[in-house]
Structures are given as structure tokens and as C-alpha cells.
Amino acid sequence: MKRTFFTALVMILFSSATFAQDFAEIDRSPMDRAYYPNNFAHDRKPSDKAIIRVTYSRPAKGGRAIFGQLVPFHKVWRTGANEATEVKFYQDIQLNGKPVKAGTYALFTIPDEQEWDIILSSDLDYWGAYSYNDKNDVIRVKAASKQLTTPVENFTIQFEKTGATQGVMKIAWDKTLVDVPFTY
């Protein structure tokens, strides 16, 4: 009886170890979130509620040429890696002067050397931009592209407060920075 119990226990332990080895590898482009106002800002009050949240994956430059090569100019880009980037507005805002209702949208961009198209789409929850359909666009706005002197290794989205009810969503990677102004 003891031998049977011991044998069964050993089999259970070994089968558990086998299941643990079936997990996928860690993603090379880890998921990140950016909030406005910034959750970690030193001047943030506990009563400050989020107005915008962006969920995205952060690919690395890794020595590659990014815009115009890895990310082609004049083509829709998922704005990050892996799943399409999502932006949630907790209240109505204006994105570069155009009204946007509170809700969750996919964030796509069309990079260009001088200016990007920033696209909010109602089509959510899919991989990349392969299924992108412009019929699902909620809005499109233009945003100027600037050259940075120091490259940004990992794709990044951050926010900056620019006034009492104004801010900028900053999209940066490699030597490119795009500022998308908003008001709330």
C-alpha cells in the first residue's frame, strides 16, 4: 500500500513538472501601459483620475534601421509590436482639435518623414495591422514628426502635461518623436 501511494505521488510530481515546461517563451516586445496623468508623477494627487490609458508592446531597435525600413513610410502601422495598440479615453477629449468620445480604440499610425497620420479605429482585439480596415476609422489627425539627436532604443509612448486641461501624447522610437496634442 505504501509502495503504491509513493509510486502515485512520484508520478503526479513528474507530470506536474512536465506541464510547467509547456509555457511559451517570454515575449521579446513586452507589453507596457502609459497613463495620463502619469501614475508616477511626483505632483500627482490621489484624487487625480486617469483620463487616458494606452496599452502597447515595446519593440527594441536592436541595431536595426526603423522608420522607412522596418516600419515602412506611407503604410498603416500597429504603432508598437504584437497586438494592435489600444487607447482608452475615460472621458470625451479633443485629439489635435478633433472630438473623440470616451471609449476604447485601436491606435494606428501612418509614418512619414515629416508628418504622421494618427488613426483611432473602432476595430479592436487583433494582431498587428494586417486586418486594418479604414471603414472602421473613428478619426484621423496629423502630427508633426521630429528628429531626435539621441536614439530611443525601445518604442515608447508617454504623456506630458502642457496646460491646465492640455497635454501631449509622445510617440518615440529610434531618432523619431511625434507629439499628438489633446485637450480635455
Q: How much is the pLDDT for 28?
A: 72
Q: For the whole model, what pTM was predicted?
A: 0.82
- pLDDT, position 48: 73
103 and 88 Cβ atoms separated by less than 8 Å: yes
Q: Is residue 31 a contact partner of residue 57, using CB atoms and an 8 Å limit?
A: yes
| pLDDT surpassing 90 at residue 11 | no
What's the pLDDT band for 38 if we cut at 50, 70, 90? confident
Give the integer Cα–Cα distance in Å for 10 and 120. Answer: 54
CB atoms within 10 A of CB 81: 18
- Going by pLDDT thresholds of 50, 70 and 90, the confidence category of residue 104 is very high
Per-residue pLDDT tens over the stretch 140-152:
999 999 999 999 9
15 has a pLDDT exceeding 60: no
Q: Are 93 and 184 in contact (CB under 8 A)?
A: yes
